Amino acid sequence: MAETIRKITNSIGLPRIIITLFFILTCVMAVLLELPIDMLTHQVLVRIGMNGVFVLAMVPAILSGTGPNFGLSLGIICGLIGGLMSIELNLYDGWGFAAAIVIAIPIAVIVGWVYAQLLNRVKGSEMMIATYTGFSIVFLMSIGWLIMPFKSPEMVWPIGKGLRVTISLGERFADILNELWEFPIGKVKIPTGLLLFFFVCCILVWLFLRSKTGLALKASGANPKFSLACGINVDKNRITGTILSTVLGAVGIIVYAQSYGFFQLYQAPLMMAFPAVAAVLIGGASAQKAKISNVILGVFLFQGLLTVSLPVASSIIKEGNISESLRMIVQNGIILYALTKVNGGE
């Protein structure tokens, strides 16, 4: 009996069990404290849709062997540029949203290609270098936001130079997916369009991973030396994986922003990669293996925990933001746990 329990614990991983139990506990607490459950459920669903694509972006990167994409902010910045162009072109509603994505994707492909060239040259230390590439590009682009020649009065400061820190999407395409085919179950509003978009993305990636290219990509990530011997071009597959991850990051921020209602520029993308990495790891992925099911489960657990714990924590302890400290501990704890499982060095 003890043996089987230990086996199960080992295969799932202790931190995951703790986080799951913790999530269940917060949910029970939420019910006991008589918090508005329908509101919370709606929020959890929205948060899943908002962050889902970011988490999905981790899958091709992990599978192609570059490890979790800590440089997701590169993709995010491409998405921001697409979104800003769409506003600059003065597009509204669905057209604005679609244009943002259509403009962002080719930029993300180019950036992803360059980024992949870098990652191919630093095999073995991708995670660290990805993190710092992401950080430095965020600040380079901060200069970029100040000097880019955008004209639309919605985006630039009325006085002075440069783009605003937050750009409202209120009349453009805010909530365009959230309100698409939205219907209530009881009191819970289901953001159908948003979730549908996320699931369609998941299915597309799932299909891609079953195509010839996708299988080669998985093989070269799982065992680079063996793949090389089989005549698979490992470097090329890593490039494909990285490009796909960057593109998903770009699409992710547009989906995120339409739900959030704002584009956030300057330092906002700096730390966005870490919650996404943590979510996919909580879902059961490792630094070498990831599945679509890990994404869906992970984003549900992590975002669910964050959404529910905030009102629960603040109704127990009135002052301060304890759930923020909690987020840091959970998020970085799970990344650390995954790192201890990476077999490197020896």
Partner 1 sequence: MAQINRIHLSNNKDKTVLKKIKDIFMKNIVTIIFLVLCLIGIELSGLPIFFVVSELVTRLTRNSFLVLSLIIPVLAGMGLNFSIVIGAMAGQIAIIAVTHWGVTGIWGFLLCVVLSFPFALFFGYLTGKLLNKTKGQEMIASMILGFFANGLYQLTFLFLVGTVIPMKNDVLILSHGVGVRNTIDLSGGLESTGIKYALDEIWKFPIFYIIIILCGLVLLYFGIKLAVDIIKYRRGNKKPFMNNCVKYIFNITVCLILLVVSILIMTGDSSLSMINLPMITAFVIVILCLFNTLIVKTKLGQDFRTVGQDKHIAKVSGINVDKVRVLAIIISTVLAAWGQLIFLQNIGTLNTYGSHEQIGMFSIAALLIGGASVSKATVGQAILGTVLFHTLFIVSPLAGRNLFGDAQIGEFFRAFVVYGVIGISLGLHAWRKRVELKNKLRT
Taking CB under 8 A as the criterion, which residues in 238-297 touch partner 1?
A: 274
Select from 52-60, 216-224, 238-246, 311-319 the region that touches partner 1 (CB under 8 A): 311-319
Q: Nearest distance from residue 141's CB to partner 1, in Å?
A: 9
Comparison of 132 and 226: residue with beta carbon closer to partner 1:
132
User: What 3 state SS string does 47-90 have?
Assistant: HHHHHHHHHHHHHHHHHCCCCCCCCHHHHHHHHHHHHHHHHHCC
Binding of residue 317 to partner 1 (CB under 8 A): yes
Binding of residue 340 to partner 1 (CB under 8 A): yes
> Which amino acid appears at position 225 of this protein?
K
Binding of residue 143 to partner 1 (CB under 8 A): yes
Binding of residue 322 to partner 1 (CB under 8 A): yes
Q: Look at the chain and count its residues.
A: 346
Taking CB under 8 A as the criterion, which residues in 150-179 touch partner 1?
A: 161-162
> Containing H/E element for 168?
strand 166-168
SS3 (DSSP) at 183? strand
Binding of residue 38 to partner 1 (CB under 8 A): no
Distance CA 18, CA 326 (A): 13
Residues with Cβ within 8 Å of residue 59, at least 6 apart in sequence: 205, 209, 245, 280, 285, 290, 291, 292, 294, 295
> Containing H/E element for 263?
strand 262-264
Residues 255 and 75: beta-carbon distance below 8 Å: no
Q: Nearest distance from residue 15's CB to partner 1, in Å?
A: 12
The position carrying tokens 């913790």 is 22
Among 121, 151, 212, 225, binds partner 1 (CB under 8 A): 121
Comparison of 261 and 333: residue with beta carbon closer to partner 1:
333
Q: Nearest distance from residue 288's CB to partner 1, in Å?
A: 12
Comparison of 70 and 97: residue with beta carbon closer to partner 1:
70
What does the binding site for partner 1 look like in residue numbers (CB under 8 A)?
Answer: 70, 118, 121-125, 127-129, 131-133, 135-136, 138-140, 142-143, 146-147, 161-162, 274, 317-320, 322, 324-329, 331-333, 335-336, 339-340, 342, 344-346
